Amino acid sequence: MRFLWFLYLICLAWSMHYLVSPQWSGSGKYPRRYEMNRLNILVVSACSLLLYTSKVQAEDGLGSEPDMGTVSELMTSSGETGALSDMPELVEVKIRHGDSLYDLAKWSNTQIDIIENLNGVDTHDQLAVGGGLLLPMTKIEQAEFHTKRMAALAQRRDGYLKRYGGLNRLKSHEVKQGQTVWRIARESGGVPLWLVQSYNPNLDLSRVQVGQTIVIPIIGASASVNDLDIEEEKDMEPAVDGVLDEGEFDEESGC
């Protein structure tokens, strides 16, 4: 840049010299200054164009690699980073006891027909507990989904406990070979599986292994199977190799 400015000043001085000096050409017809005017103008114009181009490149950052720190700051200040984080992505959500398509749509802030089209399901279909559904959610919506889901489960649990005499105590049970969570819950007062799930939020009841410990809520002072309107027991195959059959979770016990 400095060299171009230096060259520009030299050309400008050279032009001024021929404009003010009364030197004559060899023919003697025209002063030399008139013969040099066109050349001077071209040289000065070329230097001016180079200077202008260099200035534009310096302002726009052309010809040099952008500073990633500066780019990041600009993106943050302009909201580009936030826009990228707000882009929805398909997230697989595992179905738990008590979940419905309507609830999942409400918690994920997604229309039911979108969930149906993404997963090939219908509102009249029974959701397979332990299976997964794809839901389009942003990072923020994913966190809100978990919060809404737990809040809805807590509200349903509180209403159930109030209806059936409250929580008597919590019992820890170690799963044994051949046991099913459905049978364990029935033998512990007939509590519904969604209620068992609410006390074991980090446990996948459809894949419980032998030796795992689950928490079973004991409801009321004198709860019984008849008091809780449990369906008639169905013949079910015991767990194979300690893994509970997912098919037994297709129907929910209790209210």
Indicate if 101 and 155 belong to the same structural domain: yes
Q: Within a domain: residue 67?
A: no
| 69-102 pLDDT tens trace | 443 444 444 444 455 557 889 999 999 888 899 9
Indicate if 232 and 170 belong to the same structural domain: yes
Q: Within a domain: residue 13?
A: yes
Indicate if 181 and 119 belong to the same structural domain: no
Residue 16 has pLDDT above 90, yes or no: no
Indicate if 175 and 225 belong to the same structural domain: yes
Indicate if 155 and 172 belong to the same structural domain: no
Paired strand residues for 137? 89
Pairing label, strands 213-219, 89-94:
unpaired
Q: What are phi and psi of 252, to 5 degrees?
A: -95, 135
Q: What distance in Å separates the CA atoms of residue 245 and residue 239, rounded to the nearest whole number?
A: 6
Indicate if 119 and 174 belong to the same structural domain: no
Q: Within a domain: residue 68?
A: no
pLDDT at 243: 38
Indicate if 223 and 189 belong to the same structural domain: yes
Q: Within a domain: residue 221?
A: yes
Final residue of a structural domain among 160, 180, 202: 160
Contact between 176 and 244 (Cβ < 8 Å): no
Indicate if 138 and 99 belong to the same structural domain: yes
| 139-171 pLDDT tens trace | 999 999 999 999 998 899 999 999 988 888 899
Q: What distance in Å separates the CA atoms of residue 32 and residue 65, rounded to the nearest whole number?
A: 48
Q: At 197, which CATH number?
A: 3.10.350.10
Q: Within a domain: residue 79?
A: no
Q: Within a domain: residue 254?
A: no
Final residue of a structural domain among 113, 139, 160: 160
Q: What are phi and psi of 220, to 5 degrees?
A: 65, 170
Indicate if 200 and 147 belong to the same structural domain: no
Final residue of a structural domain among 160, 191, 217: 160
Q: What distance in Å separates the CA atoms of residue 117 and residue 115, rounded to the nearest whole number?
A: 6
Indicate if 150 and 185 belong to the same structural domain: no
Helices (H), the chain: 2-20, 32-60, 68-78, 80-85, 101-108, 112-119, 139-163, 181-187, 193-198
pTM over 0.95: no
Provide the percentage of residues in the chain whose pLDDT is more than 90: 26
Indicate if 141 and 197 belong to the same structural domain: no
Q: What distance in Å separates the CA atoms of residue 33 and residue 15, rounded to the nearest whole number?
A: 9
> What number of H helices and E strands is found in the chain?
9, 4
- When divided into structural domains, the chain yields a total of 3
Q: Within a domain: residue 255?
A: no
Indicate if 142 and 170 belong to the same structural domain: no
Q: Within a domain: residue 70?
A: no
Q: What distance in Å separates the CA atoms of residue 207 and residue 203, rounded to the nearest whole number?
A: 8
Tell me which residue range forms the domain holding 40.
2-60
Mean pLDDT of the region 196-200: 90
